[in-house]
Amino acid sequence: NIPFAFRIEGELDLSALQRSLCALIERHESLRATFQVCDGVPMVVGQSPAMPLSIIDLRQSSQPSLTYIDQLLSEEARSPFNLTTGPLFRAKLFQLAGQEYILTLTVHHIVFDGWSEGILLQDLSAFYDASCTGKNPDLSDLSVQYADFASWQRQWLQGDVLDTLQTYWKGQLADALHDLSLPLDRPRKPGWQACQSACRSFVLSQELTTALKSLSRSERSTLFTTLLAAFHTVLYHYSGQENQFVCTPTANRNRNELNSIVGYFVNLLVLRSDLSGNPTFQELLGRLKHVVAGANAYQDLPIQQLTPCLGETQVSLSRVLFALQNTPQQSLRLSNLTVTRLDSDNGTADFDIFLSLTEDAGMIKGVFKY
């Protein structure tokens, strides 16, 4: 589940919000998709665009405490979806007072990725403003939908194209994959996957952020690669392993018409670092520049097809994830309303450790999720 939550203050037009949500899922086919298995074959089935807004009136109770609100957000973020029946996108509005609300939007990751967040918030803002004013939303028509991309990808990933991608990744990863020996608090059980998660946030100062950018320029490196090298250095400190494998997400939206569509486009790349020979940081950075450049050049092989091409049936590609978020940042802006983003987390972890970094106001902000 990918959850979002917003505190809304002001005279909210409930009918306009309902119409806006319906218009949103009318615009994006992915938001009304369901997944069924017919004769052993997975099928995507579309639903009607109608989506009721659930409204929960809390005005009769005493002013809800922050603890109670956090509990509401946590429960909503964790509430499961039914992939077969859908819908896979839901909205709930908690009315706390006459002009005070909390809006939660929750969507299943199978139809949504990080880039889609900016699209969803931008389009919902445009639909609400248009609905309140009676004007047409300032949005261009979509020329394609996610199903068009999926069809094109299946036709393209064949023959020489597929062979070239598989050959590269075999050369990078075959007979080498292994987990990092991170200091766990208890032995890992075979087949067991952690679910419950916790987070730790931190901020790098403007001075340090500026110094990192200066180092990147002097070494002809991207900020992403410099931060990745620092992360690998930390991992080496705790694991002592010279060969490390870390996953990183790539947007996988290589055509302009895909940049305005909600869907699961994201692909994971497995980056292999080499810390043999006690390299200096600059030497490690130089090695990683080649790794990152190669991975980006051959990024089109879906990670779901990577394991079979390596000849492995049950292999953990990596239990560590690193991301420098550079997706379009959008806020939910509703006419004549004050909207504040609230922290919302599903409380689960897909990786042993996930370092997520963003740049904001000249500082790098990070979250370790584990």
Q: Which pLDDT score, from 0 to 100, does residue 143 have?
A: 94
Residue 91 identity (one-letter amino acid):
A
Note the Cα 91 to chain centre separation in Å.
19
Backbone angles phi, psi at 249, to 5 degrees: -80, 145
Distances (CA, A) of 286 to 50, 142, 154, 173, 218: 53, 41, 35, 19, 12
Q: Which pLDDT score, from 0 to 100, does residue 312 have?
A: 60
Long-range contacts of residues 81-84, Cβ cutoff 8 Å, at least 24 apart: 81/1, 81/108, 83/34, 83/35, 83/108, 83/110, 84/34, 84/35, 84/36
Neighbour count for residue 241 (Cβ, 10 Å): 17
Cα separation, 322 vs 299, in Å, equals 16
pLDDT beneath 70, residues of the chain: 62-63, 190-194, 312-316, 327-329
Crossing angle for the helix pair 114-133 and 14-27, nearest 10 degrees?
Answer: 130
Cα separation, 88 vs 148, in Å, equals 20
Q: Which pLDDT score, from 0 to 100, does residue 361 have?
A: 83
Residue 43 identity (one-letter amino acid):
M
Nearest to 102 by CA among 114, 90, 92, 88: 92
Give 274's strand partners: 243
Q: Which pLDDT score, from 0 to 100, does residue 343 have?
A: 83
Q: What tokens appear for 260 in the block? A: 């305005």
List pLDDT tens digits, range 302-332: 988 887 878 765 556 778 999 998 765 678 9
Q: Which pLDDT score, from 0 to 100, does residue 192 have?
A: 64
Q: Which pLDDT score, from 0 to 100, does residue 63 have?
A: 67
Nearest to 55 by CA among 117, 115, 119, 8: 8
Quote the pTM value. Answer: 0.89
Q: Which pLDDT score, from 0 to 100, does residue 307 have?
A: 79
